[in-house]
Structure 1
Amino acid sequence: MWKFFAVMIALLAAPVFASASYTKISEKTEFLKVVQGKTLTRPLIKLEVSSAGNISGRGASWNVNGKWTWQNGYFCRNLNWGGTELGYNCQEVGLSNGRLRFTSDEGRGNSAEFRLR
């Protein structure tokens, strides 16, 4: 079970190796326009980000929930996945062709790419 859990954490934080050019989203209003009414998806993961600062969805077979704020041009979130706290992190957000890329540690860490559905 723990091996599966470790794989799922890796999927949530997996780096993106794409050559697409991303435009940085630096304003909360701009971010909200992009995610409003959309589901963020990647294999085995579906998330919704509300304008009220909530994150909800599923990652594999576990619930994902959390809170987010916009601070100094970054999407800052705290997540709980299946009862495990994933912690607080501020992430750079980029947009390209209907995809959002979140890069942890204010753009210096790993990236995860989501399709907007």
Structure 2
Amino acid sequence: MAEKISTKQAFLEKIAGRKHVNGSAWVIVSADGTVEGVGPKGGPISGDWSWEGDYYCRTIVFDGEPMLKDYQAVTLDGNTVTYTRDKGTGVSMSWTLS
């Protein structure tokens, strides 16, 4: 059963600093508030993140295109972390942690 990650401390302890992999894409969400990786087409992913209320909040540039700040609900099920956009009401994306 998936565990809701609802505090920055839990996020730092269980998820931050670990490589997230989804197919050929990967990202590292570092404890220092940065995000970096490679998208599915080989383009760079970069940006930053913070924790606000119950949500992971990220602002990234994906393949050279800036994406709006998004507040995401986070769940962890074993080694699978899922981020759900728009405060948990939008599209979800799952990553395998390594």
TM-score range, shorter chain: over 0.9
1:29 corresponds to 2:29: no
The corresponding residue for 2:28 is 48
Contact (CA 8 Å) 2:38, 2:44: kept in 1 or not? yes
The corresponding residue for 2:60 is 79
The corresponding residue for 1:105 is 86
Identity %: 29
Gapped runs of 5+ residues in structure 2? none
Contact (CA 8 Å) 2:3, 2:77: kept in 1 or not? yes
1:62 and 1:34 map into 2 onto residues whose CA distance is: 27
The corresponding residue for 2:74 is 93
1:70 corresponds to 2:63: no
One-letter amino acid of the structure 2 residue matched with residue 33 of structure 1: E
1:37 and 1:80 map into 2 onto residues whose CA distance is: 19
Q: Could you say which structure has the larger radius of gyration? A: 1
Higher strand share: 2
One-letter amino acid of the structure 1 residue matched with residue 89 of structure 2: R
Query: Root-mean-square deviation (CA), in Å?
Result: 1.0
Contact (CA 8 Å) 2:55, 2:71: kept in 1 or not? yes
TM-score by length of 2: 0.94
One-letter amino acid of the structure 1 residue matched with residue 96 of structure 2: R
Higher helix share: 1
Deviations 1:82-112 (A, max 9, x none): 2101211000000001110000000000100
1:38 corresponds to 2:18: yes
Q: How far 1:80 moved relative to its partner?
A: 0.1
Contact (CA 8 Å) 2:17, 2:31: kept in 1 or not? no
2:79 and 2:18 map into 1 onto residues whose CA distance is: 11
Gapped runs of 5+ residues in structure 1? 1-20
Deviations 1:38-76 (A, max 9, x none): 100101211001111000000021000011000001000
